[in-house]
Structure 1
Amino acid sequence: MAFLPAAGGRLGWARGALGALIGIAVAGVLTRFLAQAGLPGMASPGLPWLVAPLGAAAVLVFAVPASPLAQPWPVIGGNLISAAVGLAAGHWIAAPWLAASLGVGCAIALMAMARCLHPPGGACALLCALGAGANGWGWSFLLMPLAPNVLALAASGWLYNRLTGHPWPHHPAPPPVLPRDTWAGTYDIADLDAVLADWDEVLDIDREDLDALFRALERRVQARWESARQ
Protein backbone atom coordinates (compact mmCIF):
# COMPACT_ATOMS: atom_id res chain seq x y z
CA MET A 1 0.00 0.00 0.00
CA ALA A 2 1.41 3.37 -1.02
CA PHE A 3 1.45 6.23 1.44
CA LEU A 4 1.64 9.90 0.58
CA PRO A 5 4.83 11.66 1.70
CA ALA A 6 4.60 14.11 4.55
CA ALA A 7 3.58 17.54 3.30
CA GLY A 8 6.57 19.80 2.90
CA GLY A 9 9.25 17.13 3.11
CA ARG A 10 11.01 15.64 6.12
CA LEU A 11 10.21 18.43 8.58
CA GLY A 12 7.33 20.09 6.74
CA TRP A 13 4.83 18.44 9.07
CA ALA A 14 6.53 20.02 12.08
CA ARG A 15 6.54 23.49 10.51
CA GLY A 16 2.88 23.17 9.59
CA ALA A 17 1.87 21.76 12.97
CA LEU A 18 3.64 24.51 14.91
CA GLY A 19 2.19 27.18 12.64
CA ALA A 20 -1.34 25.87 13.10
CA LEU A 21 -0.85 25.75 16.86
CA ILE A 22 0.25 29.39 16.88
CA GLY A 23 -2.44 30.54 14.44
CA ILE A 24 -5.32 28.92 16.32
CA ALA A 25 -3.98 30.17 19.66
CA VAL A 26 -3.69 33.76 18.40
CA ALA A 27 -7.20 33.60 16.94
CA GLY A 28 -8.64 32.28 20.19
CA VAL A 29 -6.88 34.78 22.42
CA LEU A 30 -7.79 37.74 20.21
CA THR A 31 -11.43 36.73 19.90
CA ARG A 32 -11.73 36.14 23.63
CA PHE A 33 -10.19 39.52 24.36
CA LEU A 34 -12.59 41.30 22.02
CA ALA A 35 -15.57 39.41 23.44
CA GLN A 36 -14.63 40.34 27.00
CA ALA A 37 -13.70 43.93 26.19
CA GLY A 38 -17.33 44.91 25.77
CA LEU A 39 -16.75 46.76 22.51
CA PRO A 40 -19.90 47.79 20.60
CA GLY A 41 -21.05 44.97 18.35
CA MET A 42 -18.57 42.55 19.88
CA ALA A 43 -20.85 41.10 22.56
CA SER A 44 -22.21 37.77 21.33
CA PRO A 45 -23.35 35.73 24.36
CA GLY A 46 -23.47 32.00 23.86
CA LEU A 47 -21.16 31.94 20.84
CA PRO A 48 -17.79 30.14 20.89
CA TRP A 49 -14.47 31.94 20.72
CA LEU A 50 -13.33 29.62 17.95
CA VAL A 51 -15.29 28.08 15.08
CA ALA A 52 -14.52 24.58 13.81
CA PRO A 53 -13.83 25.48 10.13
CA LEU A 54 -10.81 27.46 11.35
CA GLY A 55 -9.02 24.17 12.00
CA ALA A 56 -9.37 23.14 8.37
CA ALA A 57 -8.25 26.59 7.24
CA ALA A 58 -5.15 26.28 9.43
CA VAL A 59 -4.18 23.02 7.71
CA LEU A 60 -4.20 24.80 4.36
CA VAL A 61 -2.50 28.03 5.49
CA PHE A 62 0.34 26.39 7.41
CA ALA A 63 0.79 22.94 5.85
CA VAL A 64 0.26 23.76 2.14
CA PRO A 65 0.69 27.56 1.88
CA ALA A 66 1.40 27.36 -1.87
CA SER A 67 -2.05 25.95 -2.63
CA PRO A 68 -4.39 28.30 -4.53
CA LEU A 69 -7.05 27.31 -1.98
CA ALA A 70 -4.86 28.56 0.90
CA GLN A 71 -4.14 32.12 -0.24
CA PRO A 72 -5.25 35.15 1.80
CA TRP A 73 -8.27 36.07 -0.32
CA PRO A 74 -9.70 32.53 -0.31
CA VAL A 75 -9.11 32.28 3.46
CA ILE A 76 -10.81 35.59 4.26
CA GLY A 77 -13.32 35.92 1.46
CA GLY A 78 -14.18 32.23 1.24
CA ASN A 79 -15.05 31.94 4.91
CA LEU A 80 -16.94 35.23 5.27
CA ILE A 81 -18.92 34.87 2.02
CA SER A 82 -19.85 31.29 2.84
CA ALA A 83 -20.86 32.17 6.38
CA ALA A 84 -23.14 34.93 5.09
CA VAL A 85 -24.74 32.52 2.62
CA GLY A 86 -25.25 29.95 5.35
CA LEU A 87 -26.84 32.46 7.71
CA ALA A 88 -29.18 33.66 4.98
CA ALA A 89 -30.20 30.11 4.16
CA GLY A 90 -30.76 29.26 7.81
CA HIS A 91 -33.00 32.28 8.35
CA TRP A 92 -35.02 31.95 5.15
CA ILE A 93 -35.49 28.16 4.97
CA ALA A 94 -37.20 26.33 7.82
CA ALA A 95 -36.01 22.80 7.02
CA PRO A 96 -32.43 22.42 8.37
CA TRP A 97 -31.39 19.81 5.80
CA LEU A 98 -32.57 21.99 2.93
CA ALA A 99 -31.03 25.15 4.37
CA ALA A 100 -27.69 23.37 4.84
CA SER A 101 -27.78 21.83 1.37
CA LEU A 102 -28.60 25.08 -0.41
CA GLY A 103 -26.20 27.00 1.79
CA VAL A 104 -23.21 24.83 0.91
CA GLY A 105 -24.11 24.62 -2.79
CA CYS A 106 -24.62 28.36 -3.16
CA ALA A 107 -21.46 29.07 -1.14
CA ILE A 108 -19.37 26.99 -3.54
CA ALA A 109 -20.88 28.80 -6.52
CA LEU A 110 -20.22 32.26 -5.03
CA MET A 111 -16.69 31.38 -3.94
CA ALA A 112 -15.89 30.13 -7.43
CA MET A 113 -17.27 33.30 -9.04
CA ALA A 114 -15.40 35.49 -6.54
CA ARG A 115 -12.17 33.50 -7.08
CA CYS A 116 -11.90 32.60 -3.41
CA LEU A 117 -12.64 28.87 -3.41
CA HIS A 118 -11.75 27.57 0.05
CA PRO A 119 -12.83 24.13 1.36
CA PRO A 120 -13.45 25.32 4.95
CA GLY A 121 -15.92 27.79 3.43
CA GLY A 122 -18.24 24.85 2.82
CA ALA A 123 -18.01 23.99 6.51
CA CYS A 124 -18.72 27.62 7.40
CA ALA A 125 -21.85 27.62 5.25
CA LEU A 126 -23.05 24.38 6.83
CA LEU A 127 -22.29 25.54 10.37
CA CYS A 128 -24.02 28.88 9.90
CA ALA A 129 -27.07 27.44 8.18
CA LEU A 130 -27.63 25.03 11.08
CA GLY A 131 -26.72 27.62 13.71
CA ALA A 132 -29.11 30.21 12.30
CA GLY A 133 -31.97 27.73 12.14
CA ALA A 134 -31.48 25.88 15.43
CA ASN A 135 -29.83 28.50 17.64
CA GLY A 136 -31.01 31.74 16.12
CA TRP A 137 -27.58 32.99 15.14
CA GLY A 138 -27.84 36.45 13.60
CA TRP A 139 -25.67 38.49 11.29
CA SER A 140 -23.53 39.48 14.24
CA PHE A 141 -21.93 36.02 13.92
CA LEU A 142 -19.90 37.46 11.05
CA LEU A 143 -18.51 40.13 13.37
CA MET A 144 -18.00 37.89 16.37
CA PRO A 145 -16.46 35.36 16.40
CA LEU A 146 -15.89 34.67 12.70
CA ALA A 147 -14.14 37.84 11.51
CA PRO A 148 -11.57 37.98 14.35
CA ASN A 149 -10.94 34.24 13.93
CA VAL A 150 -10.30 34.49 10.20
CA LEU A 151 -8.32 37.74 10.26
CA ALA A 152 -6.11 36.57 13.14
CA LEU A 153 -5.39 33.30 11.34
CA ALA A 154 -4.54 35.13 8.11
CA ALA A 155 -2.24 37.57 9.91
CA SER A 156 -0.51 34.71 11.74
CA GLY A 157 -0.15 32.82 8.47
CA TRP A 158 1.41 35.83 6.74
CA LEU A 159 4.00 36.37 9.47
CA TYR A 160 4.79 32.73 10.26
CA ASN A 161 5.11 31.61 6.65
CA ARG A 162 7.40 34.51 5.80
CA LEU A 163 9.60 33.83 8.84
CA THR A 164 9.91 30.15 7.87
CA GLY A 165 10.84 30.77 4.24
CA HIS A 166 7.43 30.37 2.58
CA PRO A 167 6.30 33.86 1.49
CA TRP A 168 2.54 34.15 1.71
CA PRO A 169 0.71 35.05 -0.51
CA HIS A 170 2.50 32.49 -2.61
CA HIS A 171 4.35 33.69 -5.71
CA PRO A 172 5.39 31.03 -8.26
CA ALA A 173 9.11 30.59 -8.74
CA PRO A 174 10.33 32.01 -12.06
CA PRO A 175 11.06 29.23 -14.55
CA PRO A 176 14.79 28.73 -15.25
CA VAL A 177 16.24 30.18 -18.43
CA LEU A 178 16.91 27.37 -20.88
CA PRO A 179 19.45 27.44 -23.71
CA ARG A 180 18.22 27.69 -27.28
CA ASP A 181 18.32 24.83 -29.77
CA THR A 182 17.79 22.10 -27.23
CA TRP A 183 15.10 19.54 -26.61
CA ALA A 184 14.50 21.06 -23.18
CA GLY A 185 11.82 23.70 -22.93
CA THR A 186 10.45 23.08 -26.40
CA TYR A 187 6.85 23.15 -25.23
CA ASP A 188 5.01 26.45 -25.15
CA ILE A 189 2.76 27.71 -22.35
CA ALA A 190 -0.13 27.33 -24.80
CA ASP A 191 0.59 23.58 -24.85
CA LEU A 192 0.20 23.47 -21.08
CA ASP A 193 -3.07 25.40 -21.32
CA ALA A 194 -4.34 22.99 -23.96
CA VAL A 195 -3.56 19.95 -21.80
CA LEU A 196 -5.29 21.51 -18.78
CA ALA A 197 -8.30 22.27 -20.95
CA ASP A 198 -8.36 18.68 -22.20
CA TRP A 199 -8.25 17.33 -18.66
CA ASP A 200 -11.09 19.66 -17.58
CA GLU A 201 -10.17 19.25 -13.92
CA VAL A 202 -9.55 21.76 -11.14
CA LEU A 203 -6.02 21.08 -9.92
CA ASP A 204 -4.80 22.27 -6.54
CA ILE A 205 -1.76 23.99 -8.04
CA ASP A 206 -1.28 27.20 -10.01
CA ARG A 207 -0.66 27.01 -13.74
CA GLU A 208 2.51 29.09 -13.23
CA ASP A 209 3.79 26.64 -10.61
CA LEU A 210 3.21 23.76 -13.00
CA ASP A 211 5.16 25.54 -15.72
CA ALA A 212 8.03 26.38 -13.36
CA LEU A 213 8.13 22.75 -12.18
CA PHE A 214 8.26 21.36 -15.72
CA ARG A 215 10.96 23.84 -16.79
CA ALA A 216 13.09 23.08 -13.74
CA LEU A 217 12.72 19.34 -14.34
CA GLU A 218 13.73 19.69 -17.98
CA ARG A 219 16.75 21.81 -16.98
CA ARG A 220 17.85 19.20 -14.44
CA VAL A 221 17.54 16.35 -16.94
CA GLN A 222 19.45 18.35 -19.54
CA ALA A 223 22.26 19.07 -17.05
CA ARG A 224 22.53 15.36 -16.27
CA TRP A 225 22.74 14.48 -19.95
CA GLU A 226 25.39 17.13 -20.59
CA SER A 227 27.40 15.85 -17.60
CA ALA A 228 27.19 12.28 -18.91
CA ARG A 229 28.55 13.30 -22.30
CA GLN A 230 31.62 14.96 -20.83
Structure 2
Amino acid sequence: MQTSWRVRAMGHLGWARGAAGAVVGIAFAGIATWLALGLVPGGRSDALPFLVAPLGASAVLVFCVPASPLAQPWSVIGGDLLSGLVGLAAGHLLGDPWLAGSVAVGVAIAVMSLARCLHPPGGACALLCALGATGKVPWDWTWMAPIAANVLLLCVVGWFYNNLTGHPWPHRPPRVPHVAQPAYTREDIAAVLADWNEVLDVDVDDLDAFVQALLRRGKESSSRP
Protein backbone atom coordinates (compact mmCIF):
# COMPACT_ATOMS: atom_id res chain seq x y z
CA MET A 1 0.00 0.00 0.00
CA GLN A 2 2.81 2.41 0.93
CA THR A 3 4.72 1.64 -2.30
CA SER A 4 1.56 2.22 -4.35
CA TRP A 5 1.02 5.58 -2.66
CA ARG A 6 4.59 6.63 -3.41
CA VAL A 7 4.20 5.67 -7.07
CA ARG A 8 1.00 7.68 -7.38
CA ALA A 9 2.56 10.67 -5.65
CA MET A 10 6.09 10.72 -7.03
CA GLY A 11 5.89 8.76 -10.30
CA HIS A 12 6.67 10.42 -13.61
CA LEU A 13 3.12 11.76 -13.80
CA GLY A 14 2.22 11.56 -10.12
CA TRP A 15 0.08 14.23 -8.50
CA ALA A 16 3.04 15.58 -6.49
CA ARG A 17 5.05 16.23 -9.66
CA GLY A 18 2.18 18.08 -11.32
CA ALA A 19 1.33 20.04 -8.18
CA ALA A 20 4.93 21.13 -7.61
CA GLY A 21 5.27 22.20 -11.24
CA ALA A 22 2.10 24.27 -11.05
CA VAL A 23 3.32 26.02 -7.88
CA VAL A 24 6.61 26.94 -9.53
CA GLY A 25 5.02 27.90 -12.85
CA ILE A 26 2.30 30.16 -11.45
CA ALA A 27 4.60 31.75 -8.86
CA PHE A 28 7.32 32.51 -11.38
CA ALA A 29 4.85 33.82 -13.96
CA GLY A 30 3.22 36.09 -11.39
CA ILE A 31 6.41 37.53 -9.92
CA ALA A 32 8.15 38.01 -13.26
CA THR A 33 5.07 39.61 -14.80
CA TRP A 34 4.69 41.92 -11.79
CA LEU A 35 8.28 43.08 -12.22
CA ALA A 36 8.16 43.32 -16.02
CA LEU A 37 5.01 45.46 -16.03
CA GLY A 38 6.35 47.74 -13.32
CA LEU A 39 3.39 47.24 -11.00
CA VAL A 40 4.22 49.84 -8.38
CA PRO A 41 1.81 51.73 -6.12
CA GLY A 42 0.41 54.79 -7.87
CA GLY A 43 1.60 53.69 -11.34
CA ARG A 44 -0.63 53.41 -14.42
CA SER A 45 0.04 49.68 -14.58
CA ASP A 46 -1.75 49.21 -11.23
CA ALA A 47 -4.88 48.78 -13.34
CA LEU A 48 -3.45 45.65 -14.95
CA PRO A 49 -3.44 42.22 -13.28
CA PHE A 50 -0.18 40.39 -12.82
CA LEU A 51 -1.98 37.02 -12.92
CA VAL A 52 -5.01 35.99 -14.98
CA ALA A 53 -7.30 33.16 -13.88
CA PRO A 54 -7.16 30.99 -17.07
CA LEU A 55 -3.45 30.51 -16.38
CA GLY A 56 -4.39 28.06 -13.61
CA ALA A 57 -6.15 25.79 -16.10
CA SER A 58 -3.21 26.05 -18.50
CA ALA A 59 -0.88 25.01 -15.68
CA VAL A 60 -2.93 21.85 -15.07
CA LEU A 61 -2.42 20.79 -18.68
CA VAL A 62 1.24 21.81 -18.97
CA PHE A 63 2.41 20.13 -15.76
CA CYS A 64 -0.02 17.22 -15.32
CA VAL A 65 -0.54 15.98 -18.90
CA PRO A 66 2.46 17.35 -20.84
CA ALA A 67 2.02 14.75 -23.60
CA SER A 68 -1.49 15.95 -24.46
CA PRO A 69 -1.91 17.71 -27.82
CA LEU A 70 -3.90 20.33 -25.88
CA ALA A 71 -0.87 21.07 -23.66
CA GLN A 72 1.82 21.70 -26.30
CA PRO A 73 3.55 25.11 -26.43
CA TRP A 74 1.73 26.34 -29.54
CA SER A 75 -1.59 25.22 -28.10
CA VAL A 76 -0.92 27.13 -24.87
CA ILE A 77 0.46 30.28 -26.49
CA GLY A 78 -1.77 30.43 -29.53
CA GLY A 79 -4.87 29.20 -27.73
CA ASP A 80 -4.71 31.71 -24.88
CA LEU A 81 -3.51 34.76 -26.82
CA LEU A 82 -5.72 34.36 -29.90
CA SER A 83 -8.71 33.74 -27.66
CA GLY A 84 -7.90 36.79 -25.56
CA LEU A 85 -7.83 38.95 -28.69
CA VAL A 86 -11.13 37.46 -29.84
CA GLY A 87 -12.68 38.23 -26.45
CA LEU A 88 -11.56 41.87 -26.45
CA ALA A 89 -12.76 42.34 -30.02
CA ALA A 90 -16.16 40.81 -29.27
CA GLY A 91 -16.56 42.94 -26.15
CA HIS A 92 -15.80 46.21 -27.95
CA LEU A 93 -17.87 45.36 -31.04
CA LEU A 94 -20.96 43.96 -29.31
CA GLY A 95 -21.01 45.87 -26.03
CA ASP A 96 -23.37 43.52 -24.18
CA PRO A 97 -21.56 41.11 -21.79
CA TRP A 98 -23.98 38.21 -22.34
CA LEU A 99 -23.83 38.43 -26.12
CA ALA A 100 -20.12 39.26 -26.28
CA GLY A 101 -19.17 36.41 -23.95
CA SER A 102 -21.22 33.86 -25.88
CA VAL A 103 -19.90 34.93 -29.27
CA ALA A 104 -16.32 35.23 -28.01
CA VAL A 105 -16.16 31.65 -26.73
CA GLY A 106 -17.68 30.26 -29.92
CA VAL A 107 -15.44 32.26 -32.23
CA ALA A 108 -12.39 31.45 -30.09
CA ILE A 109 -13.05 27.72 -30.48
CA ALA A 110 -13.30 28.15 -34.25
CA VAL A 111 -10.11 30.22 -34.41
CA MET A 112 -8.14 27.80 -32.24
CA SER A 113 -9.32 24.83 -34.30
CA LEU A 114 -8.36 26.49 -37.58
CA ALA A 115 -4.98 27.58 -36.17
CA ARG A 116 -4.38 24.06 -34.77
CA CYS A 117 -3.89 25.37 -31.23
CA LEU A 118 -6.99 24.07 -29.43
CA HIS A 119 -6.52 24.76 -25.72
CA PRO A 120 -9.46 24.57 -23.27
CA PRO A 121 -8.29 27.51 -21.10
CA GLY A 122 -8.49 29.60 -24.27
CA GLY A 123 -12.26 29.57 -23.87
CA ALA A 124 -11.81 31.04 -20.40
CA CYS A 125 -9.47 33.71 -21.81
CA ALA A 126 -12.05 34.65 -24.43
CA LEU A 127 -14.83 34.93 -21.86
CA LEU A 128 -12.66 36.85 -19.38
CA CYS A 129 -11.61 39.41 -21.99
CA ALA A 130 -15.13 39.78 -23.39
CA LEU A 131 -16.51 40.50 -19.92
CA GLY A 132 -13.63 42.85 -19.18
CA ALA A 133 -14.17 44.79 -22.41
CA THR A 134 -17.85 45.29 -21.55
CA GLY A 135 -17.32 46.29 -17.91
CA LYS A 136 -17.76 49.68 -16.27
CA VAL A 137 -14.14 50.47 -17.09
CA PRO A 138 -13.71 48.71 -20.45
CA TRP A 139 -10.49 46.84 -20.94
CA ASP A 140 -8.37 48.12 -23.79
CA TRP A 141 -5.75 46.27 -25.78
CA THR A 142 -3.06 46.90 -23.14
CA TRP A 143 -4.65 44.12 -21.11
CA MET A 144 -3.09 41.67 -23.53
CA ALA A 145 0.30 42.57 -22.01
CA PRO A 146 -0.14 40.71 -18.69
CA ILE A 147 -1.90 37.82 -20.43
CA ALA A 148 0.96 37.45 -22.92
CA ALA A 149 3.58 37.74 -20.17
CA ASN A 150 1.77 35.13 -18.02
CA VAL A 151 1.44 32.65 -20.88
CA LEU A 152 4.99 33.01 -22.17
CA LEU A 153 6.55 32.75 -18.72
CA LEU A 154 4.43 29.69 -17.89
CA CYS A 155 5.71 28.03 -21.06
CA VAL A 156 9.32 28.85 -20.17
CA VAL A 157 8.92 27.27 -16.74
CA GLY A 158 7.01 24.35 -18.27
CA TRP A 159 9.83 23.73 -20.71
CA PHE A 160 12.49 23.66 -17.97
CA TYR A 161 10.43 21.68 -15.46
CA ASN A 162 9.06 19.02 -17.78
CA ASN A 163 12.42 18.35 -19.43
CA LEU A 164 14.20 18.24 -16.06
CA THR A 165 11.67 15.69 -14.74
CA GLY A 166 11.94 13.33 -17.69
CA HIS A 167 9.14 14.54 -19.97
CA PRO A 168 10.41 16.19 -23.17
CA TRP A 169 8.27 19.24 -23.87
CA PRO A 170 7.24 19.88 -26.60
CA HIS A 171 6.20 16.25 -26.47
CA ARG A 172 7.90 13.71 -28.72
CA PRO A 173 6.34 10.25 -29.19
CA PRO A 174 8.54 7.44 -27.82
CA ARG A 175 10.57 5.53 -30.37
CA VAL A 176 9.40 1.94 -30.39
CA PRO A 177 10.78 -0.54 -32.96
CA HIS A 178 8.01 -1.82 -35.20
CA VAL A 179 7.30 -5.52 -35.07
CA ALA A 180 7.94 -7.55 -38.21
CA GLN A 181 4.99 -7.61 -40.59
CA PRO A 182 2.79 -5.15 -38.67
CA ALA A 183 -0.92 -5.83 -38.85
CA TYR A 184 -1.71 -2.17 -39.51
CA THR A 185 -0.27 1.13 -40.69
CA ARG A 186 -0.32 4.64 -39.29
CA GLU A 187 -2.91 5.48 -41.93
CA ASP A 188 -5.14 2.72 -40.53
CA ILE A 189 -5.11 4.46 -37.13
CA ALA A 190 -6.11 7.77 -38.72
CA ALA A 191 -8.87 5.99 -40.68
CA VAL A 192 -10.27 4.37 -37.53
CA LEU A 193 -10.30 7.71 -35.73
CA ALA A 194 -12.12 9.22 -38.71
CA ASP A 195 -14.66 6.38 -38.60
CA TRP A 196 -15.25 6.97 -34.90
CA ASN A 197 -15.84 10.66 -35.62
CA GLU A 198 -14.49 11.57 -32.19
CA VAL A 199 -11.60 13.76 -31.02
CA LEU A 200 -9.27 11.84 -28.69
CA ASP A 201 -6.83 13.73 -26.50
CA VAL A 202 -3.85 11.76 -27.80
CA ASP A 203 -1.61 12.12 -30.83
CA VAL A 204 -1.73 9.55 -33.64
CA ASP A 205 2.01 8.91 -33.27
CA ASP A 206 1.54 8.17 -29.56
CA LEU A 207 -1.24 5.71 -30.39
CA ASP A 208 1.02 4.06 -32.96
CA ALA A 209 3.89 3.77 -30.46
CA PHE A 210 1.56 2.34 -27.81
CA VAL A 211 0.14 -0.35 -30.10
CA GLN A 212 3.61 -1.26 -31.41
CA ALA A 213 4.90 -1.63 -27.84
CA LEU A 214 1.85 -3.74 -26.98
CA LEU A 215 2.35 -6.01 -30.00
CA ARG A 216 6.06 -6.33 -29.26
CA ARG A 217 5.38 -7.23 -25.63
CA GLY A 218 2.79 -9.78 -26.69
CA LYS A 219 5.19 -11.34 -29.18
CA GLU A 220 7.95 -11.57 -26.55
CA SER A 221 5.55 -13.11 -24.04
CA SER A 222 4.35 -15.75 -26.50
CA SER A 223 7.91 -16.76 -27.35
CA ARG A 224 8.79 -17.50 -23.73
CA PRO A 225 8.73 -21.15 -22.66
TM-score, normalised on structure 1? 0.89
Contact 2:112–2:119 (Cα < 8 Å) also in 1: yes
Deviations 1:114-144 (CA, angstroms, capped at 9, x unpaired): 010000000000000000101311001111x
Structure 1 counterpart of 2:156, which letter?
A
Counterparts of 2:72 and 2:191, CA distance in 1: 25
Query: What TM-score comes out, normalization by structure 2 length?
Result: 0.91
- Contact kept, 8 Å, 1:87 with 1:125, in 2: the verdict is yes
Q: What is the deviation of 1:49?
A: 1.0
1:43 deviates by: 4.8
Matches for 1:110-189 after TM superposition, within 5 Å: 110-134=111-135, 135-143=137-145, 145-180=146-181, 185-189=182-186
Distance verdict in 2 for CA 1:62–1:142, change over 3 Å: same
Asked if 1:93 is matched to 2:94, the reply is yes
- Residue number in structure 2 paired with 1:214: 211
CA, structure 1 residues 11+215, in 2 after alignment: closer, same or farther (shift >3 Å)? closer
- 2:72 corresponds to: 71
1:45 deviates by: 2.9
Q: Is the 8 A contact 1:85 1:125 kept in 2?
A: yes
Residue 188 of structure 1 and its aligned partner are, at CA, apart by: 1.8
Aligned mate of 1:21, from 18, 23, 34:
23
Q: How does 1:38-49 map to 2 (within 5 A)?
A: 43-49=44-50
Q: Which of 205, 222, 225 is the equivalent residue of 1:225?
A: 222
Post-superposition shift, 1:10? 7.6
Alignment correspondent of 1:192: 189
CA contact (8 A) 2:71 2:119 kept: yes
Per-residue CA deviation, residues 73-116 of structure 1 (Å, 9 max, x unaligned), is 01111100000000001111121111000000000000000010
1:30 corresponds in structure 2 to 32
Amino acid in the other structure paired with 1:220: R
Shift of 1:215: 0.6
- Give the direction of change, closer, same or farther, for the CA distance of 1:128–1:7 in structure 2 (3 Å limit): farther
| Partner SS, residue 91 of structure 2 | helix
Measured at CA, do residues 20 and 125 of structure 1 come closer, stay the same or move farther in structure 2, by a change above 3 Å?
same
1:6 Cα deviation (Å)?
6.1
Deviation at 1:177, TM superposition (A): 2.9
Paired position in structure 1 for 2:4: none
Q: What is the number of residues matched between the two proteins?
A: 216
What SS does the aligned partner of 2:24 have? helix
Q: Percent identity?
A: 59
For the 8 Å contact 2:61–2:68, the answer to whether it is kept is yes
Which residue identity lines up with residue 189 of structure 1 in the other structure? R
Distance apart, 1:29 and its partner CA: 0.4
Per the alignment, in what secondary structure is the counterpart of residue 38 of structure 2? helix
2:10–2:16 Cα contact (<8 Å) kept: no
Distance 1:118 1:8, change over 3 A: farther
Q: What's the C-alpha RMSD, in Å, of the aligned pairs?
A: 2.0
Structure 2 residues without counterparts, runs of 5 or longer = 1-6
Give the equivalent residue in structure 1 for 2:104: 103
Contact 1:83/1:142 (<8 A) preserved: yes
